Structure 1
Amino acid sequence: MSAAEAVSNASTASAAAHEDAPLRVAVVVGSVREGRAGGAVTDWFLGFAERHGGLELDVIDLAEVELPLVMPGWGGTPTPEAAAVLADVTPRLADADAYVVVTPEYNHSFPAALKNLIDWHHGQWRAKPVGFVSYGGLSGGLRAVEQLRLVFAELHSMTMRDAVSLHGPWSGLGEDGVPRDTTVSEGAAKNMLGQLLWWGRALRTARATQPYEG
């Protein structure tokens, strides 16, 4: 075997190993409201996602992330308080290959704390896939998700076509935050995670091969 062939084979093996590595997924819990159902919904989703396999999950709970609303101008420096929070959160978002956003619907939209986290960051979201787990009343949080799709499109993210939507408490979501019909909910989660894995691996390989310049 020539030296060129050896290098080529090593490169191919490295690419294959990289492609098969677990997908690093940051799960962002968007609600900070007292008495929220978001914690229970997230726990249910994490339990299913861990059984699904192929994922390395990192939970970012915005109830524990005290980002200020006041941001510096372009090129400015965050306050020491903001910098301390960003030092923990930003690297985790940057290291993620993909994201799952768990969000309720408030007044036909998504929580302000979630928009604040998104706006504090920019390049971290680019050329990465985003899946959604939403919950709410009759709409199941779908109106919040549709608005989030517009936001993430502006940030050059790829949102998953299929989402998990939990309607409750009188429909599909129990008072404890766990879906009443786990067969339907787990089917939706399986579809969303399947898409997230495909896009996550494809875009991870693409970013490693050629930096995104969109």
Structure 2
Amino acid sequence: MSRPVLQVVAASTRPGRRGLAVAEWVARLAGEHGGFDVELVDLAAVALPVFDEPDHPRLQRYTHQHTRDWSATVSRADAFVFVTPEYNHSFPASLKNALDYLSVEWADKAAGLVTYGGVSAGLRASSALKPVLGALRLLPVVEAVSVPFFAQFVDEDGRFVPNVELEAGGKAMLDELARVTPALRALRAAA
């Protein structure tokens, strides 16, 4: 059996964003972990318009090419790490929109959360995101990474340089994703 595909999803789409550096670190860490084939998915590059399909996503009757392309991308994945900032005590609309576009493609896959922000470390984004993931039948793992005052970890070249604790948290999250993903893959195959 091939290695599972882990998609690291960069949720921020703002011009001048620094969160892409966090997602690139997660993708590097996941590559070093060795348990996955890793893809970095940048929602700014995906550039989905505000949800514009006439039918409910569970029907998979997509009328737009951007939706079919997004469906193909998400369908490739066995697990995800959502890398998201906290905006106004929640997660960004770009991530909610990307999640809402699909239904079946998300189901029975594991999800890790990497949040970042100021003093809150993005924890309120995580709290708001978990019920949405549950509604889509994504399984958020308990292990997560929350980055407080994340700008302190971005160097002059724009790279995210984590401390020992963030590295350990990331490895623990990836270990748990690697543990549960084969079971969920088997569950999807049985369906």
TM, length-normalised to structure 2:
0.89
Correspondence for 2:24: 43
Ranges in structure 1 where 5+ consecutive residues have no aligned partner: 1-17
- Letter of the 1:154 partner, please give it: A
Q: 2:83 aligns with which of 102, 111, 114?
A: 102
Q: CA deviation at 1:86?
A: 2.2
Which residue number in structure 2 is paired with residue 206 of structure 1? 187
2:3: which partner in 1? Answer: 22
Aligned partners of 1:132, 1:78: CA distance in 2, in Å?
Answer: 28
Residue 178 of structure 1 is matched in structure 2 by 160
Q: Show CA shifts across 1:131-189 (max 9, x none).
A: 1111110111111011111101111111010111111147x6335452452x1111000
Q: Which amino acid in structure 1 is aligned with residue 100 of structure 2?
A: D
Is 1:60–2:38 an aligned residue pair? no
Deviation by residue 1:71-111 (Cα, 9 ceiling, x = unmatched): 233369655xxx22223221120121111101000111111
1:123 aligned to 2:104?
Answer: yes
Query: Which of residues 143, 146, 171 is equivalent to 1:190?
Result: 171
- 2:171 aligns to what SS in structure 1? helix
Q: Distance in 2 between matches of 1:101 and 1:35?
A: 19
- Identity in percent: 37
Q: 1:169 to 1:161 in 2, by over 3 A?
A: closer
Partners of 1:134 and 1:141 within 8 A in 2: yes
Aligned pair 1:159/2:140, yes or no? yes
Please identify the structure whose Cα radius of gyration is greater: 1
Whether the aligned pair in 2 keeps the contact of 1:38 and 1:177 (CA below 8 Å) is no
Partner of 2:114: 133
- 1:108-139 CA-partner distances (Å, limit 9, x unpaired): 11110110010000011111101111111011
Distance verdict in 2 for CA 1:58–1:143, change over 3 Å: same
Which whole-Å deviations, capped at 9, do the CAs of 1:11-33 have from their partners, x for residues lacking one? xxxxxxx2xx3111111110001
CA contact (8 A) 1:131 1:192 kept: yes
The 8 Å contact of residues 81 and 111 in structure 2, kept in 1 or not, is answered as yes
Q: Which runs of 5+ in 2 are unaligned?
A: none
CA spacing shift, 1:179–1:146, aligned 2, 3 Å: farther
